[in-house]
């Protein structure tokens, strides 16, 4: 049987720890971002508005119900709480949500580019792919409306001109997905700089989606659509062979 007081105390510790991680790793700046945990009894513990996630203390956190009504706390809940409540409504297995502005991934969001290429096996296993939601004004119903069609199918979403939201069966799982999204964004940028993306093929992606069911910690399914993830075009011409090193000192020139 769940002890509500112990459950809430553990959630407070997790949120403070993740807030420190987000700040230390520069996944947020100033008072950006928000974190929440779904508790038993229809309660949600969330971060306050207008406060650095790296400077929070336990009594800064706010307890609300699933309709967003404040139950306890000396501060006000995040202005983006509605986004968290939408995710809890649409995904009953989700117990933690993290929203941040990781620089590389948010750069993709600001450029209108989804992180939907099948470049890394680990990302296909963990997330399937990361789609891009249309722009919605922060703190308004517009934002939730843009996320609603995507939340049931994906565990991480880029929000156009805004940031990233991730969610999982625990708030720590949600945080790790945020790290994965940012890591993937950085690798994607490098592949674009190098001018070549060696995508996985459809058969390879299908095998990974089957394999993900066997991996500990991967508890939600990701939908596979026509362009999420984007796979290698098997009809395309084969890649050219690598260029041999230049004659002379034998060193490769880039």
CA angle (60, 63, 64) in 5-degree steps:
140
**Report field, pTM of the whole predicted structure over 0.85:** yes
Q: What are the tokens at 152? A: 């049931």
**Backbone conformation region of residue 149, classed left if phi is above 0, alpha if psi is from -120 to 50, else beta:** alpha
**What does the pLDDT average to over 212-218?**
70
Domain assignment of residue 56, yes or no: yes
Is pLDDT larger for residue 209 or for residue 223?
209
Domain assignment of residue 247, yes or no: no
pLDDT score of 217 more than 90: no
Q: Is the distance from CB of 82 to CB of 146 less than 8 angstroms? A: no
pLDDT in tens, 109-151: 999 999 999 999 999 988 988 999 999 998 888 999 999 999 9
pLDDT in tens, 40-86: 999 999 999 999 999 999 999 999 999 999 999 999 999 999 999 99
pLDDT in tens, 143-197: 999 999 999 999 999 999 999 999 999 999 999 999 999 999 999 999 999 999 8
Instruction: For residue 149, give its domain range.
Output: 4-214
CATH number, position 188? 3.40.225.10
pLDDT score of 252 more than 70: no
Domain assignment of residue 10, yes or no: yes
Domain assignment of residue 242, yes or no: no
Domain assignment of residue 232, yes or no: no
pLDDT for the residue 23? 97
Number of domains in the chain: 1
Is pLDDT larger for residue 168 or for residue 225?
168
| Partners of 167 in beta bridges | 97
Domain assignment of residue 235, yes or no: no
Q: Is the distance from CB of 95 to CB of 175 less than 8 angstroms? A: no
Domain assignment of residue 233, yes or no: no
- Closest-CA residue to 189 (of 109, 102, 105): 105
Report the chain's C-alpha Rg in angstroms: 20
């Amino acid at each position: 049987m769940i002890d509500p007081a112990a459950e809430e105390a553990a959630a407070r510790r997790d949120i403070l720890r993740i807030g420190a991680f987000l700040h230390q790793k520069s996944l947020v700046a100033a008072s950006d971002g928000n974190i929440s945990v779904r508790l038993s009894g229809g309660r949600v513990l969330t971060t306050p508005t207008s406060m650095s996630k790296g400077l929070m203390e336990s009594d800064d956190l706010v307890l609300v119900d699933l309709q967003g009504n404040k139950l306890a706390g000396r501060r006000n809940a995040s202005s983006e709480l509605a986004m968290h409540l939408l995710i809890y409504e649409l995904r009953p297995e989700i117990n933690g949500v993290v929203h941040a502005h990781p620089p590389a991934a948010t750069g993709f969001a600001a450029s209108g580019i989804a992180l939907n290429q099948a470049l890394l096996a680990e990302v296909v296993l963990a997330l399937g792919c990361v789609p891009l939601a249309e722009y919605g004004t922060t703190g308004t119903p517009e934002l939730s409306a843009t996320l609603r069609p995507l939340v049931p199918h994906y565990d991480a979403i880029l929000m156009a001109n805004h940031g990233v939201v991730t969610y999982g069966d625990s708030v720590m799982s949600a945080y790790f997905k945020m790290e994965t999204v940012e890591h993937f964004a950085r690798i994607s940028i490098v592949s674009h700089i190098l001018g070549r993306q060696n995508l996985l093929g459809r058969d390879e992606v299908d095998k990974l989606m089957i394999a993900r069911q066997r991996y500990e910690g991967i508890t939600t399914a990701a939908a596979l659509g026509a362009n999420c993830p984007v796979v290698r075009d098997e009809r395309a011409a084969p890649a050219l062979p690598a260029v041999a090193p230049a004659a002379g000192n034998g060193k490769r020139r880039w």
